[in-house]
Amino acid sequence: MLDFVIFAFTAIVGLIIILVFLLPGPGKEESENKESANNNGIPGARKTDEKLGNLGDIAEAGSLHQYLLNLHDKYGPLASFWWNEKLVVSLASPELFKQTSRLFDRPVDLFKMFEPLIGEQSIQYANEEEGKWRRQNYDVSYSHDAVNEMIQTFNKMAETLVNDWRSYPAGDHIPIHQQLVDIAIKTIIHTSFGDFFKNEEEVQLLRQNYNTVWSDMEDRLGGSHPEEGSERMERFTKARQWIHDLVERVVAHREKSTDSFSKFVFIDNLRNLMEVSDPRLSCDAVSFMIGGFHTSGNMLTWGLYFLATHDDVQQKSYEEVESVIGHTGQVTQDGISQLKYLKQVIDETLRTAVVAPWAARYAHEDIELNGYTIPKESSMIHALGVVLQDPEIWPDPEEFDPDRFSPDASKDRHPYAFQPFGFAGKRKCPGYRFSTVEGIVVLAKILQQFKLGFPEGQLVEPVYGLVTSPKEELWITATPRE
């Protein structure tokens, strides 16, 4: 009997040893299976913290965009990760974008860190019929006709910048990020908020307070939150309150203004739709004011950077400007349509710099994508920046080449491969026309008057937040053209 027990025990041990050596160990395949099981069967990253999910990994990667680049490189066009305790699915292919193009509602959780600035009643958080009603009524302020009426203001703002640059000694370095954000601020407030801003000091204070609030919120996206009562929290609260008080002053000024403005002016549109006391009015005024210069200011900064570092592109752009508007002319509505290469420069700037890296939506029912079931109410990120840097779509994606957007190069490209302003559910950035036309006018007026150069040895590092900006001030030189 004892011999049998020993034999049986030895046989079992031997079988275990055979299984250990012959069957797959806890390698990559098993690890990925565990990750899939952990993520409702959807390929992706496991939680690295029970409460924070993968937020620590996002901070370690440097930004959500950089994290998504790594995530999709490992798991393919559909991948999942954890935002706190909530599963998020990220989509990174034109076809997946197309399949989710009708989704309107935006997950509040992913944009919650911006609520202290724009307010909980902001259109950023408005979904279903309420969100659709507001978008439908607001879009008229940035329609094709409305933006055409703004072209004269775009020219005027660009000329103030050009005149300022003429005061610089030849060869001096010009801080373009600061100045282009200022121009973008002036442009949005003069086209959308009336005649309130006549004092340059108000513009500077708006930029300073915005910088304080925005940089703090970007830090929160990386996992760093201010403590109640801390100096950082006090600084943030003070800057945020200044911005909201400013909007209230703008609204009050418009109530008493006798200036004749177009029916398209955004602040008047808001006042026609809502009572002044309605919290949605102030929240949406802040949202559109910040949105109106945040993206445009950074897009213009990167556009000038690429022009200053690519002489061939700059020369071709200048020759087109010279042929369309001459050496002293204004950019007109007809001129916008003729500046085709400069439009390609704007598009390639949005792509290469990944000015807006991601957007997000959710569905009210389960949906099937790439053979996986995405549970209803799951946050779905549109990884716009990942697709804009996909080498399968854009060979040598880090190379700046406006000819990618020539008619011949674009004709066979998937229509959802280039969506720098988002696309889903008629919730595309409402200011996309505004930003594009403003960009063409400002760049044209600068090229008309200056040859741009790039200071030797300057290192430029992007910071990928909700909008991509340079980590430090970006400098160029501007030599007047004869």
Residue whose C-alpha is closest to residue 383's, from 83, 58, 75, 69: 69
Q: For residue 18, what pLDDT is reported?
A: 32
Degrees to nearest 5, angle at CA 311 with 307 and 316: 80
- Examine residue 16 and state whether it is found in any structural domain, yes or no: no
- Distance of alpha carbon 419 from alpha carbon 33, whole angstroms: 33
- Distance of alpha carbon 146 from alpha carbon 241, whole angstroms: 31
Amino acid of residue 95: E
Answer yes or no: are the C-beta atoms of 430 and 142 closer than 8 Å.
Answer: yes
Residue at token pair 């990942």: 386
Stretch (H or E) spanning 464: strand 462-464
Q: For residue 260, what pLDDT is reported?
A: 54
Answer yes or no: are the C-beta atoms of 210 and 184 closer than 8 Å.
Answer: no
Answer yes or no: are the C-beta atoms of 389 and 354 closer than 8 Å.
Answer: yes
- Examine residue 257 and state whether it is found in any structural domain, yes or no: yes
SS3 34: helix
CA 63 to chain centre: 13
- Examine residue 4 and state whether it is found in any structural domain, yes or no: no
Q: DSSP readout, 401-454?
A: -GGGGSHHHHTTS-TTS--TT--GGG-S-TTHHHHHHHHHHHHHHHHHHEEEE-
Q: For residue 225, what pLDDT is reported?
A: 80
Q: For residue 136, what pLDDT is reported?
A: 93
- State the pTM of this model: 0.88
Q: For residue 3, what pLDDT is reported?
A: 35
- Examine residue 36 and state whether it is found in any structural domain, yes or no: no
Q: For residue 253, what pLDDT is reported?
A: 83
319: CATH? 1.10.630.10
- Examine residue 192 and state whether it is found in any structural domain, yes or no: yes
* Domain count within the chain: 1
Q: For residue 395, what pLDDT is reported?
A: 97
Residue at token pair 């500046």: 339
**Cβ within 8 Å of residue 176, ≥6 positions away:** 301, 304, 305, 474, 475, 476
Q: Which domain holds residue 441?
A: 43-480
- Examine residue 31 and state whether it is found in any structural domain, yes or no: no
- Distance of alpha carbon 318 from alpha carbon 39, whole angstroms: 52
DSSP category for residue 53: B
At 390, list the tokens. Answer: 């996909």
- Distance of alpha carbon 375 from alpha carbon 368, whole angstroms: 9
**Cβ within 8 Å of residue 169, ≥6 positions away:** none
DSSP helix, strand, coil percent of the chain (3-state; round to 5): 60, 10, 35
Q: For residue 19, what pLDDT is reported?
A: 29
- Examine residue 83 and state whether it is found in any structural domain, yes or no: yes
Q: Give the HSE-up count for residue 445: Cα atoms under 13 Å, Cβ half-sphere.
A: 26
- In order along its 482 residues, the chain shows pLDDT tens digits of 333 333 333 333 333 333 233 333 334 343 444 444 467 899 999 999 999 999 999 989 999 999 999 999 999 999 999 999 999 999 999 999 999 999 999 999 998 888 888 999 999 999 999 999 999 999 999 999 999 999 999 999 999 999 999 999 888 999 999 899 989 988 998 899 877 777 778 888 888 998 898 888 877 766 678 899 899 999 999 999 999 898 888 888 887 776 655 556 899 889 889 988 899 999 999 999 888 888 999 999 999 999 999 999 999 999 999 999 998 899 999 999 999 999 999 999 999 999 999 999 999 999 999 999 999 999 999 999 999 999 999 999 999 999 999 999 999 999 999 999 999 888 999 999 999 999 999 999 999 999 999 999 999 999 998 889 999 999 999 999 97
- Examine residue 365 and state whether it is found in any structural domain, yes or no: yes
- Distance of alpha carbon 381 from alpha carbon 89, whole angstroms: 6
